[in-house]
Amino acid sequence: MTRLWNDPADFADDMVEGFVRANSRWVRKVYGGVTRSTQAAEPEVALVIGGGSGHYPAFAGLVGPGLAHGAAMGNLFASPSAHQVESVARASHRGRGVLLSYGNYAGDVLHFTEAQDALRADGIDCRTVTVTDDIFSAPPEEAEKRRGIAGDLTVFKVAGAAASLGYDLDGVERVARLANDRTRSLGVAFSGCTMPGAAEPLFTVPEGRMAVGLGIHGEPGLDETDIPTADGLAELFVGQLLADAEVPTEAAKAGGRVVPILNGLGSVKSEELFIVYARVAELLESAGLTIVDPQVGEFCTSFDMAGVSLTLLWLDDELERLWLAPADTPAYRCGAVDHAALSPTADDADADERATVPSASAASKEASRLIAELLNATREVIDAHADELGRIDAIAGDGDHGIGMQRGARSAAAEAAALVDLGAGAGTLLSRAGDAWADHAGGTSGALWGVILRTLGAHLGDTEPVSAEVVSAGVLAASDAVRSYGKARVGDKTLVDALVPFADTLAARVKGGCGLSAAWEAAAQAANTAAERTSDLMPGLGRARSHGEKALGVPDPGAVSLALIVTTVGSRLGTADVAQ
């Protein structure tokens, strides 16, 4: 289990601080993560990678000459927010464009795509290559749905090398996609990982059994078998990876060249990995493959998870040259980098834009005070139910929904309280509280709650009185925005299943002449009913999609947390002097 921390809620922030202090030769801290502390004499395409914390050396440990230019670092097992990704990308960009690369997880896709759109809107050429190496997470005909695990390293290394050799953005994107197409991984686990401060692991494996096809965020495996010998595990890995229908035909023929990466996920020791690798190498050579630069160690971990993964990268001449090109980072080194040709990166001056707020009417300021109270009530109810939300999420997901909601709600409530003191109007308060929620919660739920609060804030504004009609219209717009942003529909077993009936019922009741409090109460009842009914649904999106049958009989945690929040807000509206 994880033993050392101060406040579990501050674990990721504290970790980043220590990492940067220990590795200033390679990295410097910027908002949202780290960038290189040195730069090449000639500008390069900027490779910005990232994801949730808890996977060291992924992702910050791979920033340095010859590899990544920056890493956006989300909270534990939660994607960085769009704001954080954009910040790291802007700090890393030197005029030749940006390539974003990360594992294919719903929250990461949402946040990185939003950041890409913001960069493009500002005239920065930005592309994306998602890593999809996990063969167990989707069949070959749906390879685009596969998630990224330890195969991140091959894509990042190839792209970073291409950038260091002067490739333009088209070229860096091309070889990154080629590396992803030629990379396959499979992971197993003997026990789950435990988050800082948690009493139980995110999932368990029966004694003497092994989960097959696990993710790196505490998602349980997709299959289970008896624990094999080390040789038996090697045979499972190699057999499954060579049999995958999407293995490049030419590369798989006798004489093909392959990079094997045997990765420990946390508590499996190097000595054990070497025993497994001996048989892996024998099997690959027996298949007629030539092994190039094998890697055995920790490259993408999951706290203290007892697990192992094998990644295979099939090479061509260009990929081999890029894989073997020099790189020097805190956690990965290859060849000799010419440090004499590097110069320190100038620190950017960060303006504190949040120290001031736009002017607001007296009525809007009064509404802000109530909204801040409602956000604090939201924090309280999420704190009270965080463990249960995590338990529900762990059945078919990664178990971090309660923790993520806690971080988001606490940050939004703290931001709202500070903004009331600054005299912010309702629109500004909701918008900035939404940013705070997304930045600190990360993940899909963080992104969506950021969208909800910002959209509602845009409708309320800072100057007009807050009416039931305006609130209803804002909630309806937020429902539309969430569906547009996350692409979920009613029936996909997500937050949307509770949000849509809530928004629709609120709009109908307000249109029918109800005051805000009464309309909200009816809408909250609709949300609760809809959340309970998600127990009968199979997940259509997100990490739980791969574990569909396990989710049957259990409500969706995103829908449940939304229902909790709107019910709590409704109870407070009933005792407040609100627009009727």
Please report, for the chain, the start and end positions of each structural domain, with discontinuous segments joined by +: 8-332, 353-573
**Is the backbone peptide bond immediately before 59 cis, with ω within 30 degrees of 0?**
yes
d(CA 9, CA 14) in angstroms, rounded, equals 10
β-pair partners for 63: 68
Residue 296 CB: number of other CB atoms within 10 A?
Answer: 17
Q: In this structure, are residues 425 and 360 in contact, taking their beta carbons and an 8 Å threshold?
A: yes
Q: Which of 334, 354, 365, 345 is nearest to 465 (CA)?
A: 365
Place of tokens 């970790």: 15
d(CA 497, CA 537) in angstroms, rounded, equals 10
Same fold for the domain at 8-332 and the one at 353-573? no
Q: In this structure, are residues 273 and 296 in contact, taking their beta carbons and an 8 Å threshold?
A: yes
- Catalytic residues, which ones? 217
Q: In this structure, are residues 365 and 429 in contact, taking their beta carbons and an 8 Å threshold?
A: no
**What does CATH list as the number for 8-332?**
3.40.50.10440
- The full length of the chain comes to 580
d(CA 236, CA 438) in angstroms, rounded, equals 40
d(CA 298, CA 307) in angstroms, rounded, equals 11
Residue 401 pLDDT: 87
The pLDDT averaged over each successive group of 10 residues in the chain (580 residues) is 81 93 97 96 97 94 98 90 95 97 92 95 98 93 93 98 98 98 95 84 87 78 90 96 67 75 96 98 95 97 94 96 98 93 76 74 96 97 92 76 90 97 97 94 88 97 95 97 92 95 98 96 97 86 53 88 97 70
Q: Residue 240: which residues within 8 A CB-CB, separation 6 or more?
A: 135, 136, 186
**What does CATH list as the number for 353-573?**
1.25.40.340
Beta strands in 168-255 (DSSP E): 183-191, 209-212, 223-226
Amino acid at residue number 465: P
d(CA 68, CA 61) in angstroms, rounded, equals 9
To the nearest 5 percent, what fractions of the chain are helix, strand and coil?
Answer: 50, 15, 35
Q: Is 47 helix (H, G, I), strand (E, B) or coil?
A: strand
Q: Which residues of 87-124 are buried (b: 16+ CB within 10 A; e: fewer)?
A: bbbbbbbeebbbbbbbbbbbbbbbbbbbbbebbeeeeb
- What's the pTM? 0.86
Q: Which residues of 392-431 are buried (b: 16+ CB within 10 A; e: fewer)?
A: bbbbbbbbbbbbbbbbbbbbbbbbbbbbbeebbbbbbbbb
Q: Which tokens in the block code for residue 362?
A: 């007296």
Q: Which residues of 319-349 are buried (b: 16+ CB within 10 A; e: fewer)?
A: bbebbbbebbbbbbebeebeeeebeebeeee
